Amino acid sequence: MEINYIQAVRDIFSKREAPPLCCVHSYGCQQNVSDGEKLKGQLCLMGCGVTDDMTAADIIILNTCAVRENAELKVYGNIGELKRLKEQKPDMLIAVGGCMGQEPKTAEKIKKSYRHVDIVFGTFAAKELPRLIYEALTQRTFIVDTAERNTECFEDIPAVRSEKYKAGVSIMYGCNNFCSYCIVPYVRGRERSRSPEKIIEEIKRLVSDGCKEIMLLGQNVNSYGRGLEEKIDFPELLRRIDNIDGDFRVRFMSPHPKDATKEFFDVIAESKKICRSVHLPLQSGSDRILKAMNRRYTAEQYMDMVEYARKVMPGLSISTDIIVGFPNETYEDFKQTLDIVKAVKYDNIFSFIYSKRTGTKAAEIIDHTSEEDKGKWFRELLAVQREISEEHYKRFLGAEFDVLFDGTYKEEFISGKSGEFIITLVKGSPELIGTMRKVRVTKTHNWAVEGELV
């Protein structure tokens, strides 16, 4: 007989004096944050309350990221710090999930060196959380689930969202690109697209609940629709979302340049709700390095995309990802990246020194580029971008933005992002957090703008 694990766990918890508290800490990308909200949702169905205080929690889940080595080291440091807490609360459950959890080496290392951890589970096992919790409570043994399940998208899982006014909506899972430096296809699996009906239904529900900003999530949103019975692609999905009634705006993260068509940019230009900002990861401006990365576009093709995008949307804001120091990159390769950075004039760059990920093709390359050179080039890139941003942001002076406020900065400012994804600071009350207000820009920095409420 199949066990209803949610009810079984609720029955166990009902015998306690007070409902247990759960704490889910998500690392890394917006997709991980969205996954973490669904983990909280399942825990609430099992009778848990939610807390952000690990010391008060009875169940702690670290929802991990495996994209860079530093992220993994941080997780292991945090796992180590939980040992003392477990000694104080022996009945506490500690779980490590997410992308690191999908890697077999993680379970092996935790079992050997972090014996206070009770559960390790991968990205595919997120929907199995009730079963994993039940087994940990009843068997009191080390529970592992890193099995790959590629046949379905996780649907109808409730989410406990940290903010009512903005939300991430997954439109697909996995990745088929296999960039040579990237571990994501190995820990997230192959691409699976959600049905457009489920996506539209979820967005309508969020909008009716007062959500002001929807972030569409996927490892490569441009390849949405492949494998679905219905013939639909990402531009068509954007059109349907744009036609949903309500006062909200739409972003997406992340597209791949190789799949960025003219139709993709045309739809954004013609839309009413899609923000005029595109994250277009470059990674490198050198064709030699792009080929070694298996990116499947050239620097010239990338620049053609940017030129067309700005032709149909003159005010478009563009951000990018750049990897510095890919194995055997030369200074000449790096200078070609700088040339594109100067030509495009990005509003933001997210740049990293190459991080070797065991299991990827790039990890097998014998690297002759020194760490000293990588660090020097990285600092040069940041200096160039600071100069560009300082000058480029001046184009916003006097402009009026619709800003969704989501936090505070220092004591006097509230902060938010415009539709162009520009950090905007205004002197005002924290009561404005969660509201969309029009702001006139009065001052610019190389990382943000300041303004006044209109």
Last residue of a domain, one of 373, 395, 417: 395
Per-residue pLDDT reduced to its tens digit, 287-334: 999 999 999 999 999 999 999 999 999 989 999 999 999 999 999 999
User: Does residue 141 sit in the same domain as residue 30?
Assistant: yes
How far apart CA 392 and CA 342 sit, in angstroms, is 11
340-364: per-residue pLDDT in tens?
Answer: 999 999 999 999 999 999 899 999 9
For residues 210 and 267, state if they share a domain.
yes
pLDDT score of 279: 96
46 with 103, same domain?
A: yes
Judged by phi (left if over 0) then psi (alpha if -120 to 50, else beta), residue 189 lies in left
**Cβ atoms of 42 and 130 closer than 8 Å:** yes
Q: What is the pLDDT of residue 430?
A: 93
Is 304 a member of any domain? yes
Rounded to an integer, the average pLDDT of 416-444 is 96
In whole angstroms, give the CA distance from residue 403 to residue 415: 9
Q: Does residue 1 surpass a pLDDT of 50?
A: no
For tokens 């790039």, name the residue. Answer: 362
Q: pLDDT (tens digit, 9 = 90+) per residue, 121-149?
A: 999 999 999 999 999 999 989 999 998 87
Q: Whole-model pTM?
A: 0.93
Whether 311 and 341 share a structural domain: yes
Q: Judge whether 157 lies within some domain.
A: no
251 with 125, same domain: the answer is: no
Range of the domain at 88: 5-145
Residue type present at position 431: E
Place of tokens 């969309």: 436
Domain count, the chain: 4
From CA 196, how far away is CA 229, in angstroms rounded?
11
| Residue 59 tokens, joined | 């169940």
CA dihedral over 227, 233, 236, 241, signed as positive or negative: positive
The reply to whether 75 falls in a domain is: yes
pLDDT tens profile 358-403? 899 999 999 999 999 999 999 999 999 999 999 999 999 999 999 9
pLDDT tens, position by position, 18-30: 999 999 999 988 9
Three-state secondary-structure class, residue 341:
helix
Query: b or e along 35-69 (b: 16 or more beta carbons within 10 Å of the residue's beta carbon)?
Result: bbbbbbbbbbbbbbeebeebeebbbbbbbbbbbbe
Instruction: Give the CATH number, domain containing residue 96.
Output: 3.40.50.12160
Closest CA to 43 of 145, 111, 137, 117: 137
Task: Based on the fold, state whether residues 198 and 255 are members of the same structural domain.
Answer: yes
Same domain (yes/no): 228, 179: yes
Q: Is the domain of 88 the same as that of 124? A: yes
Structure tokens at 286: 């050198």
Do the domain assignments include residue 158?
A: no
Strand ranges across the sheet with 166-170: 166-170, 213-217, 249-253
Residue 413 is part of a domain; what is its CATH number?
2.40.50.140
Q: Which of 253, 275, 297 marks a domain boundary?
A: 275
H/E/C letters for each residue in 284-327?
A: CCCHHHHHHHCCCCCHHHHHHHHHHHHHHCCCCEEEEEEEECCC
Residue 331 included in any domain: yes
We report the CATH number of the domain holding residue 342 as 3.30.750.200
Query: Which helix (H) or strand (E) covers residue 169, if one does?
Result: strand 166-170
Per DSSP bridges, beta strands 172-173 and 192-193 are antiparallel
Instruction: Flag whether 442 is in a domain.
Output: yes
Q: CATH code at 261? A: 3.30.750.210
DSSP string, 370-414: -HHHHHHHHHHHHHHHHHHHHHHGGGGTT-EEEEEEEEEETTTEE
Regarding whether 128 and 16 lie in a shared domain, the answer is yes
CA distances from 314 to 86, 194, 276, 308, 391 (A): 56, 32, 10, 10, 17
> How many Cβ atoms sit within 10 Å of the Cβ of residue 348?
17
Of 127-136, 154-163, 210-219, 433-442, the least confident: 154-163
371 and 315 assigned to the same domain: yes
347 occurs within a structural domain: yes
Tell me: do 230 and 242 sit in the same domain. yes
pLDDT number for residue 152:
67
Same domain, 345 and 270: no
With residue 200 as reference, give the H or E element that holds it. helix 196-208
Domain termination site, one of 395, 415, 444: 395
Say if residue 150's pLDDT is above 80: no
Longest Cα–Cα distance of the chain, Å, equals 67
Q: Which residues of 373-397 are buried (b: 16+ CB within 10 A; e: fewer)?
A: ebeebbeebeeebeebbeebbeebe
Q: Is residue 38 part of a domain?
A: yes
